[in-house]
Structure 1
């Protein structure tokens, strides 16, 4: 009886693990696919911010040094000043070419950037963020610093570095999840803008480590 009950528990665990694996599967998006819409598209703003980076031009290739393949160095980001009512800025970086759990892959978020800050220096260390600002979630969890591209083999991916000017300072709990962050931002966005970079697999990257053999 105990053995039979144990077998049932194992089967249930394997079924749950399989369901989670399917849910977490990363798939490539298709042009115009609604699920591939980024935060800028889902939360349009009347005002416009011009966002640039010294690392690449809009629509250009992201240097490998700014990816997880080689150093994961922050590329730097500059944007034009928001409207007079701006109380803080938020940044959301997404890969719209790949979907995980039905949404663009979330690489980096930062919120409560002071209204007098319109520049983040290249190579910014994780602990050198502007005073009062906080890291939000990315695909690895909450409160994560810049996590650059690690584009899989195949076509180049589109990475959106979007900046939002907000008329509010967000509560700390806004950084728990992407849904919490965007819900707190909704109806408070005065202006937004983005710079888009292209990422690809590093041809010099070593092959992935072999997966361990399944237990017998």
Structure 2
């Protein structure tokens, strides 16, 4: 299943680069491919950064946000997964509560919360991928990461990517 999870992430990045359409994800706190402010990391208050998006495809039934560190020494490390975000939602405030109707999957620490960047050595990339899905996932709060990523597979209409960098 870990292989499927990595495949979803890679396909998402490829699809984003190929489409580069109107579906965009950004943060007012950092630009793509720039440093994530410390307050959103383990060195700060470790709260989720504010995010906003636009151009959600018209047939979207739900959104899923996946935050991964592809540079972790033991392979892909998941920091946060929010899923079943209603398509009418277009932003998450800093340190936000889960939107009504949405749920959180377990991250790589086995917690159903946001846990920010905290690399041991060197700069790491943190890939925020927002998926527009053609379905509402039949998963519950606290579901395993791979179960949610497997459920996403085959249901992605489009995605948007924001990459942040961080090092201690």
Q: CA deviation at 1:99?
A: 4.1
The aligned counterpart of 1:176 is 143
Aligned mates of 2:32, 2:116 — CA distance in 1: 16
Distance 1:104 1:195, change over 3 A: same
* SS, match of residue 196 in structure 1: strand
Matches within 5 A, 1:31-180: 39-43=8-12, 45=15, 48=21, 49-100=23-74, 103-124=75-96, 128-142=97-111, 144-153=112-121, 155-173=122-140, 176-180=143-147
Alignment gaps of 5+ in structure 1:
1-33, 202-216
Distance 1:168 1:140, change over 3 A: same
Aligned mates of 1:52, 1:149 — CA distance in 2: 17
TM-score (norm 2): 0.86
The aligned counterpart of 1:6 is none
* SS, match of residue 172 in structure 1: coil
Aligned mates of 2:92, 2:81 — CA distance in 1: 13
Distance 1:93 1:38, change over 3 A: farther
Matches within 5 A, 1:17-28: none
Aligned mates of 2:103, 2:126 — CA distance in 1: 21
Number of equivalences:
161
Q: CA deviation at 1:176?
A: 2.0
Higher relative contact order (CA 8 A, sep 6+): 2
Q: Once superposed, what is the RMSD of the aligned Cα atoms?
A: 2.4
Alignment gaps of 5+ in structure 2:
none
The answer to whether the Cα contact below 8 Å between 1:68 and 1:148 also exists between their aligned partners in 2 is yes
TM-score (norm 1): 0.68
Structure number with greater Rg is 1
